[in-house]
Amino acid sequence: MSKQQKIAIQGILGSFHHIVANQYFGEDVILKECLSFVEIPELINNNTVDGAVMAIENSLAGSILPNYALIDEFDLKIQGEVHLPIHHHLMALEGQALSDIKEVWSHPMAILQCRKFFRQHPHIKLVEETDTAEVAQQIQNKQLKGIAAIASKKAAEIYNLSIIENKIQTRKENYTRFFILKKKNGEIEKSKTINKASIKFITKHETGNLSDVLAVFSGFNMNLSKIQSLPIIDKPWNYAFFADIVFDDEQLFKEAISQIETKVSYLKILGKYQQSKRKYDH
């Protein structure tokens, strides 16, 4: 009998990280709740948990740059990815109507993704908090009237709140991409299909060096699905690049990487994994 896995998530039960953890690992996992992303790497590297779920980008709000830095700094490995459709619901205590709500508390990213809705209700004050589900829990535990949360339907179910408005996010097809993380030599089971990789590289100070790197992947007919620059902290105006590459043949990817190594000053493979399929659940 295999041991029950311990997985760190940002947020508490009912958070989107909770939903992703169950979707990827199944229901039979022990969840370690964290109220900030910075807690997660230490938990992985000191073996408190087997792995973690960490949001990395949203289709509306963009990349979460500090999380790229955390993955790199603590030498974590990307084991997989999940694209989760994000449905934001406005919820409050039973019997509350939209006209009763004076303040909405939620994570800054959730508020950002629902700006259009709240522009239509300017009387509502928006308050940034650390986690969507934790606000839902607070409202129930403290019986807070006039306060609403933006959170998942799962949070409404867990904390017995009434949904006032469904799907208030600005874009109805709103995704967040999550990385599944493990320690460098961690034991999370790997997918049999490997067709995507995330890498970090630093170009040489030569004109056209970035173009040379991109040309290698193009030459191998590989799709660069994302490229993101991040400042190098101790070298002002110098940048590292984080890139995602989709490929059909892992051996060809290895050959491409061997060519890239000769063209850059630094290269690190953050992880090789199975590409997540984005199927929107209407």
Question: What token pair was written down for 240?
Answer: 């590292």
Structural domain includes residue 188 = no
Structure confidence at residue 206 as a pLDDT band (50, 70, 90)? confident
Same domain, 239 and 143: no
Q: What is the pLDDT of residues 240-257, one digit of tens each?
A: 999 999 999 999 999 999
| Cα gap 36→134, rounded to integer Å | 12
Residue 278's pLDDT is what?
65
Residue with tokens 């709240």: 118
Same domain for 269 and 201: yes
How is residue 105 written in tokens? 């508390």
Span 207-218, mean pLDDT? 93
Residues 140, 238: one domain?
A: no
pLDDT for 59: 87
Q: How far apart are CA 134 and CA 9, in angstroms?
A: 13
What does the longest C-alpha to C-alpha distance in the chain come to? 65
Model confidence at 282: pLDDT above 70 = no
Cβ atoms of 106 and 128 within 8 Å: the answer is yes
Predicted confidence band at 8 (pLDDT cuts at 50, 70, 90)? very high
Do 77 and 178 belong together in one domain?
yes
Q: Report pLDDT for 133.
A: 96
Q: Is residue 281 part of a domain?
A: no
Q: 3: Cβ–Cβ under 8 A, 6 or more apart, which residues?
A: none
Q: What are phi and psi of 117, to 5 degrees?
A: -60, -45
The partner residues of 9 in beta bridges, in order of sequence, read 33
Residues 46 and 98 in one domain: no
Instruction: Check whether residue 112 and residue 73 sit in a common domain.
Output: no
Q: Are residues 56 and 178 in the same domain?
A: yes
Q: Return all residues near 215 (Cβ < 8 A) that are at least 6 apart.
A: none
| pLDDT above 80 for 104 | yes
Task: Report the number of distinct structural domains present in the chain.
Answer: 3
Shared domain check, 178 and 79: yes
* Cα distance between the two ends of the chain: 38
Q: Is residue 187 part of a domain?
A: no
Radius of gyration of the chain (CA): 21
Flag whether 282 is in a domain.
Answer: no
What domain range is 261 assigned to?
196-273
Domain shared by 71 and 102, yes or no: no
Please report, for the domain that includes residue 128, its CATH number. Answer: 3.40.190.10
Check residues 185 and 65 and name the one with the higher pLDDT.
65
Q: Which of 128, 155, 182 is the last residue in one of the domains? A: 182
Same structural domain for residues 58 and 178? yes
Task: Say yes or no: 127 and 262 in one domain.
Answer: no
Whether residue 1 is contained in a domain is answered as no
- Stronger pLDDT, 18 or 109, i.e. the higher one: 18
Distance of CA 19 to the CA centre of its chain: 12
Beta strands 6-10 and 30-34 are: parallel
- Side chain identity at residue 176, one-letter code: T
pTM for the model? 0.90
